[in-house]
A and B are shown apart, each in its own frame.
Chain A
Amino acid sequence: MSYLFALGTTLGTLWLRLAFGYHAGDEPVLVLFILPVVLSAYVGGLGPGLFATAIAALGSSYYLLTPLHSFRTSDLNLPNWVAMIIVAVLIVVLVNALRTNHRNLRAALADAGEIRTALDQHAIVAITDPRGKITFVNDKFCALSKYAREELLGQDHRLINSRHHSKEFISDLWATISQGRVWHGEIKNRAKDGTFYWVDTTIVPFLDAAGKPRQYVAIRADISARKWAEEAQVRLAAIVNSSDDAIISKTLGGIITSWNPGAETLFGHTAEEAIGQPIAMLFPPDRLSEEDEILARIARGESVKHFETLRRRKDGSLVDISVTISPITDHEGRIIGASKISRDITERKLAQEKTAWLASFPEKNPNAIVELDLRSSEITYINPAAIRLFPDLPKLRLEHPFLAGLPALFEATGQGTDGEPMRHERVLGDRCFSQTVNLIPESGRVRIYSTDITERLRAEEEVRRLNAELERRVIERTAQLEAANKELEAFSYSVSHDLRAPLRSVHGYVRMVMEDYGDRFDAEGVRLMNVVSSEARRMGQLIDDLLDFSRLGRQKMGSTEVDMTALARSEFEHQTRDLKDRVPRLDLRPLPPTQGDPAMLRQVFANLLGNAIKFSRHNPTATVEIGSQSGAEGDVYYVKDNGVGFDDRYLHKLFGVFQRLHGEAEFEGTGVGLALVKRVILRHGGKVWAESKLQEGATFYFTLPTDRHN
């Protein structure tokens, strides 16, 4: 075709030249033939171009150049003709090269278009100028970023910045591409609607002639799904790793395949130790059968939820756990193992035990305990004792006399609302209950703790009655005592008055007889009258002593600090004042002072020293020792002599009134002195006792407690 075109155009050109008045000798205008050559070369390439050139050369030589109709050419036209051929060939070569180039370019452009189409189908493409302004985005870019093209063009990539990446990351990217190097990485971007997406990004800088980036072409792939999956994986792993629960996976054969730090904490084995080991190592020997059961259930695709059991730690100790076991399946849904999530429930068990233990207090409390919601009047708690005592309570609630009027009571008194419990008493039948009512402000409930105080009230009543009775008796007895005392006083008074009067008369009249008729009595008569007289005198002494003794019991007792040493010394001196040569030696040791009635205590020393002096008067080396010693009940005072002593068989009689262990002829005395001593010491709260052996002297002891204050 191209050759025909070359032939046609060249012949056409020849024909046109001939037709438009060619005359021999005219200029052949060979330059016209350049046109078909150019056209032929352009349409057909090198072959048709050269073919056209050949036609043009032959045709012009034959028809236009002299000699005409001959392929010979005159010397005159030959240079033109050769120049024409050379120019035509050159043009053909040039046009052909141009044509080839042109064709190649067209093919290259077509290729590029196809590649871009393919790229657009696959990738997210954006092109920016060197300053980062977006100059091109493809549809996928728009679709993923959810921006319209018009919104993107002219903007830079900050529009879709997710702020996920660090400044360093971004500056590293720019450093790389602005130096003309390709950057590759994963970028998280933010879409127009605020959602995020991840793109795997390659940025290729295109450089200008000077080697400066002219534009950047960014080709991206959406990797969000993978990223999300990775993130989810990381999150899951973090959850598993950070869980306090032991999370273990195992094969259906019971071999451990994964082991989280929680498992290490719970069971003591590290992951390295546990993975590959049979799960049975965690089972106490008596629970090994559990594993078979569990595996059987897992194999059937069932889960075991919150199964509470015991497991063994690495150190052999047992731990209470709650375990949930679920099957693990592969992509095809086949069960390939099991996951076990075990939780240490030791604390919970302890808490449960503690809760149960705490609950047992109200539960086992023999007193009624009730909690009531004041607003709904629902009973929210009632202990067994309350049900036992008031079986109708759950049914009757606020209508039961045990609770009746409680809300009104709260409103009326305002008591119990400030956290202070309100107390009141209720009589139910023949029982009386003390109720302590506590308002729990958080729940608006009241707790009623009740105690049956019937017995206590009865006991209190009984105590009151007994007290009254006792008081009455005390008054009665006091009156009796007072009467007896009065009687005794009257008696003493009579004794002192009436008993002494006749004695005085006996004595007086004997003396009067002797004064008036004494000279008529012989010696025996005088002796007999003297006996009457001295007996009367002695009886007078007896009466006086007895009165002293009786007065001592009734006398008010003073209490002052008494210097016992001084008291003993002064009384000893008093007792021995009239004794002249028969004064015994005194061995007086320092005595601790005491609290008491000085006059009464003087009586004690008077009688004890009087006795000591009296009963040792036959001893030429008579010694009276006064001292003290510490005893369990305080200081013990003693008066010791080396006189005749007494027979200790009669010790029990020693302190009785009118009791005498010696004959009147041997040692005078009325037998009141020691009784008086005993009375004084007893009134001081002390004790008195004696030790003696016949002919070995006697020691009298007494205590005076110093803590006696009233």
Chain B
Amino acid sequence: MSSQSQVEVLLVEDNPRDAEMTLRTLRRRNLVNSVVHVKDGQEALEWLFAEGAHAGRDVSQLPKVVLLDLKLPKVDGLEVLRAMRADERTRLLPVVVLTSSQEDRDVIESYKLGVNSYIVKPVDFENFSAAVAELGHYWLLLNQKPL
């Protein structure tokens, strides 16, 4: 997944189907050249901070946006978010929660932790791909990156 080129999106998603649909949409719409997909929270943090399996990666190279699922094996999405916001290097990195959960709890907790956007994955594929396309368009093309 990783390449020498600039990574634009870090997709943290344990569900391979959702991941495939997300990636398909982003690619089909030509919104992204480089996506890194990690399957759990721990790997996400290792990638971000160049630790463990991703040791040696250039830590300064950060994506334009992190698409973060909440329900993840090992370290869940909120933990990942908390860790990112606690670390100076990733404190300002835009994070979009892309999840199935509509729970108020999750929404509120995410915003408290400093999420930039919270999107519930629609069941309907058309709606889903439209949502992904919109967020890709916004965060990758329109939004001014802080770092």
Contacts and interface: CB of A to CB of B under 8 A. Distances in A.
A456 B102 CA distance: 57
Contacts of B99: 497
A539 B123 CA distance: 9
Contacts of A511: 125-126, 129
A678 interface: no
Interface string A491-511: 011001110111111011111
B11 to A, nearest CB: 15
Contacts of A47: none
A691 B81 CA distance: 52
A543 to B, nearest CB: 8
Contact of A493 (B15, B103, B122, B123): B103
Interface in A502-557: 502-505, 507-512, 533, 536-537, 539-540, 543-544, 547, 551, 555
B103 A504 contact: no
A543 B71 CA distance: 18
Interface string B86-116: 0000000000000111111000000000000
Interface in A478-496: 492-493, 496
Contact of B121 (A500, A502, A543, A551): A500
B128 A504 contact: yes
B17 A493 contact: no
B35 to A, nearest CB: 17
A496 B18 contact: no
Contacts of A502: 17
Given A511-B125, A540-B123, A504 B101 contact: no
A509 B123 contact: no
Contacts of B101: 493, 496-497
Given A493-B101, A496-B102, A504 B18 contact: yes
A512 B17 CA distance: 11
Contacts of B18: 501, 504-505
Question: How large, as a class, is the contact surface on chain B?
Answer: 20 to 34
Interface string B105-147: 0000000000000000111111011000000000000000000
A498 B71 CA distance: 9
A508 B15 CA distance: 13
Identify the interface centre among B70, B102, B126: most chain A CB within 10 Å of its CB: B102
B27 to A, nearest CB: 12
A505 B17 CA distance: 6
B21 A512 contact: yes
Given A505-B17, A505-B18, A508-B21, A497 B124 contact: no
B12 to A, nearest CB: 15
B60 to A, nearest CB: 34
Contacts of B71: 493, 497-498
Nearest to A556: B104
Nearest to B121: A504
A497 B123 contact: no
Nearest to A509: B17
Contacts, number: 70
Nearest to A540: B123
A493 B102 CA distance: 9
Contacts of B103: 492-493, 496, 551
Contacts of B100: 496-498, 500-501, 504
B107 to A, nearest CB: 12
B74 interface: no
A504 B102 contact: no
Identify the interface centre among A493, A502, A510, A536: most chain B CB within 10 Å of its CB: A493
Contacts of B17: 501-502, 504-505, 508-509
Contacts of A496: 100-103
A539 B122 CA distance: 12
A505 B129 CA distance: 12
Interface in B9-32: 15, 17-18, 21, 24
Interface in A618-673: none
Contacts of A505: 15, 17-18, 21
Nearest to A537: B124
Identify the interface centre among B15, B100, B102, B129: most chain A CB within 10 Å of its CB: B100
A492 B105 CA distance: 12
A504 B99 CA distance: 12
B123 A537 contact: yes
Contacts of A555: 104
A505 B124 CA distance: 9
B96 to A, nearest CB: 17
A263 to B, nearest CB: 102
Contacts of B21: 504-505, 508-509, 512
A530 to B, nearest CB: 12
Given A501-B15, A501-B17, A501-B18, A508 B102 contact: no
Contact of A504 (B24, B104, B123): B123
A512 B126 CA distance: 10
Identify the interface centre among A498, A505, A555: most chain B CB within 10 Å of its CB: A505
Contacts of B129: 508, 511
A209 B101 CA distance: 158
Nearest to B14: A501
7 contacts: A493-B71, A498-B100, A501-B18, A501-B121, A504-B100, A539-B123, A544-B102
Given A507-B123, A508-B125, A540-B124, 18 more contacts: A497-B99, A500-B121, A501-B15, A501-B17, A503-B123, A504-B121, A505-B15, A507-B124, A508-B21, A508-B129, A512-B21, A512-B24, A533-B125, A536-B123, A537-B123, A543-B123, A544-B102, A555-B104
